[in-house]
Chain A
């Protein structure tokens, strides 16, 4: 496995350029800026940071073009989107009730061992809701594939071929943040699967998209907390990691109970905080480097003392 580097937001502190230069390769940088949606092409600043080496894959533009020109594909894609919206709505209901149960048990003043047992069971129920949701997501994508709309779309196959060709000639794949839902959708649609030897540098929402599970979160919405929940599977390039960009801005890190539930709920993964200036260069075996800031299961933020395999709980 070649290198995978996850970065914090790049809006106020641009490190992506120096990270790419630090990789030592000089070829083209295949870039995904689809998370910027219709501003996808506004990549002048990115070109400057990457020394003019960027080849933008223009995945958002490709998707919009497909939707406009390929009616059977558009129908199938809209069916999937509507079903995903329905699924997400039902998931949020189940998730909210599950998490309310966890917090209610946390507040209980019953005998400690009883509370601990109940808490473990309440968290397990939330994990089961998460698993159900991911199975349902997979099923919906299978339904889309079964329509044949993807295989039958000549235009889609052509786009996929062009994307694969650009990737094969690239020395680095750079994935910017933005709308992580759109990002995930186009990465999946155009089968962006960087080969192991291709270095990947991804930041903010892009970093979320290269993990195995994309978890949405925001503790500072106008109406208060929103429940952190899974949205979709990611590329799976960085496994065992839940990427949490803008953690300081978006999470109530001082709320030990909520943070401990968040860290404990994704039991097989490590919650990695990606704030401004953060750089997490995964080891060749996928290990998180020493110094990586993570959420511990007691709800505190801690820095790893030594390189650690993702999923290991600090």
Chain B
């Protein structure tokens, strides 16, 4: 970790990087040690929410007896694990990193005590948690990051309706359950765009997608739409370029919904989306059935590929993904009119995602590519939904002049 802050930050504050670090709260505390005052650490922690975010610096702290304390964060570019050091003879441990404005990092602690390692511990001093399929994770929000207001329930926004549905899929050879969102003020006379959501229930549970749709439709930023939230079966198989899955989405689900709901029955009125492997499933469906979806929304797609050999580093579950992406890169073609593609700059998938942008664009598809200072997680994907959905299905804001 360099002790020098970037020139721009120094210029903005009028202080050198070294001076900035010396003035950090944790360093001011260090200067007061050792002390005979037994309450100094308690008062410090009472005064400062943790992690301590000061300008471009974030300081992680842990309190307790331990042999080793580490922050695990999976941020590309930072040491992982990030080792914390004890503050003098106290039981307070700390590590400071530079965290660019607007960043958001999910993390947990690993602790070694008496030769025993405890992993995936949330930060007991930090109440801010993100929920995910594998449990809650502590969150460090840098200067400039705020949870978008449109992700929070708005009492003025009328809520849409969820209807559980299922269909017998010949392609998947099973009954497939899913949940269908219809917007507030739903009317049979109106034709609605259709959004098919991979990992649908996770998007509802961890990306607040019901609230997001209600709010953005209420604000007129997104067109009232119908969304099918579809959970996976065997996710790592079905989402990794799996012909039966693509057939299910394109040839069974879409016709099933089109028969039962007033939908815009044209590619431009349809979008398929997903994150991570769900992004692969979305692209793979579009590659196999390019006439069905006019738009794709790909969030942190697991588009791992190799330029030579097969050492992709992702393990066996990525083998079919790599074969698929390699084949697509070898023969890229237009599979939709528009692609909204996004990825967190702190996740390893940023490189393949950046690489694919020009591949997509060169086929003539209209690509909007957005990066975020975030990682491979559901709140990152939640935070991109406004930009994505307003671009794909713009609402009637342009018509409203109260």
Contact = CB atoms under 8 A, between A and B. Distances in A.
Given A178-B401, A180-B401, A221 B390 contact: yes
B399 interface: yes
Contacts of A245: 401
Nearest to A11: B402
Nearest to B150: A222
Kindly state the interface size class of chain A when it binds its partner: 20 to 34
> Interface majority SS on A: helix, strand, loop or mixed?
mixed
Contacts of B402: 9, 11, 177-178, 204-205
Interface in B376-402: 386-387, 390-391, 394, 396-402
B189 interface: yes
Contacts of B390: 221-223
Contacts of A180: 399-401
- What 8 A-B pairs come out closest when comparing CB atoms? A205-B401, A222-B390, A181-B399, A204-B401, A216-B398, A245-B401, A177-B401, A223-B391
Interface in B346-402: 368, 386-387, 390-391, 394, 396-402
B326 to A, nearest CB: 32
A93 B386 CA distance: 22
Contacts of A129: none
Nearest to A244: B401
A65 interface: no
A100 interface: no
Nearest to B185: A38
Q: Which of B189, B221, B401, B402 has the most CB of A within 10 A?
A: B401
A95 to B, nearest CB: 13
A162 interface: no
Given A89-B268, A179-B396, 8 more contacts: A82-B191, A177-B401, A204-B402, A205-B399, A205-B402, A221-B390, A221-B397, A223-B387
Interface string A240-270: 0000011000000000000000000000000
B401 A208 contact: yes
Contacts of A35: 401
Contacts of A208: 401
Contacts of A133: none
A41 to B, nearest CB: 15
B189 A218 contact: no
B165 to A, nearest CB: 25
A237 B221 CA distance: 31
18 contacts: A35-B401, A67-B189, A74-B189, A89-B268, A177-B401, A178-B401, A179-B399, A180-B400, A181-B396, A205-B399, A205-B401, A216-B398, A216-B399, A218-B397, A221-B394, A222-B386, A223-B390, A226-B394
Interface of B: 185, 189, 191, 221, 268, 368, 386-387, 390-391, 394, 396-402
A38 B394 CA distance: 21
Contacts of A145: none
Contacts of A179: 396, 399-400
A5 B2 CA distance: 66
A90 to B, nearest CB: 11
Contacts of A226: 394, 398
Nearest to B370: A223
A246 B394 CA distance: 20
A104 to B, nearest CB: 17
A259 B396 CA distance: 22
Contacts of B401: 9, 35, 177-178, 180, 204-205, 208, 245-246
Interface string A212-245: 0000111001110010000100000000000001
A208 B402 CA distance: 11
Contacts of A178: 400-402
A83 interface: no
A2 B268 CA distance: 46
A287 to B, nearest CB: 24
B386 to A, nearest CB: 5
A246 B399 CA distance: 12
A68 to B, nearest CB: 8
B389 to A, nearest CB: 9
Given A67-B189, A74-B189, A89-B268, A222 B221 contact: yes
B372 to A, nearest CB: 15
A169 interface: no
A74 B390 CA distance: 29
B191 A231 contact: no
A1 interface: no
A205 B401 CA distance: 5
A281 B401 CA distance: 20
A223 B400 CA distance: 17
Contacts of B391: 223
Contacts of B398: 216-218, 221, 226
A120 interface: no
Interface in A171-200: 177-182
Interface string A1-43: 0000000010100000000000000000000000100100000
A205 B399 CA distance: 8
Contacts of B394: 221, 223, 226
B221 A205 contact: no
A26 B402 CA distance: 26
A222 B189 contact: no
A116 interface: no
A78 B265 CA distance: 14
A173 B214 CA distance: 35
Contacts of A205: 399-402
A9 B397 CA distance: 15
Contacts of B368: 223
Given A67-B189, A74-B189, A89-B268, A222 B387 contact: yes
A67 B189 CA distance: 8
Nearest to B269: A85
B398 to A, nearest CB: 5
Given A38-B185, A67-B189, A89-B268, A221 B221 contact: yes
B160 to A, nearest CB: 16
A252 B387 CA distance: 20
Nearest to A207: B401
A174 to B, nearest CB: 15
Interface in A63-90: 67, 74, 78, 82, 89
Contacts of B387: 222-223
Contacts of A231: 399
Nearest to A246: B401
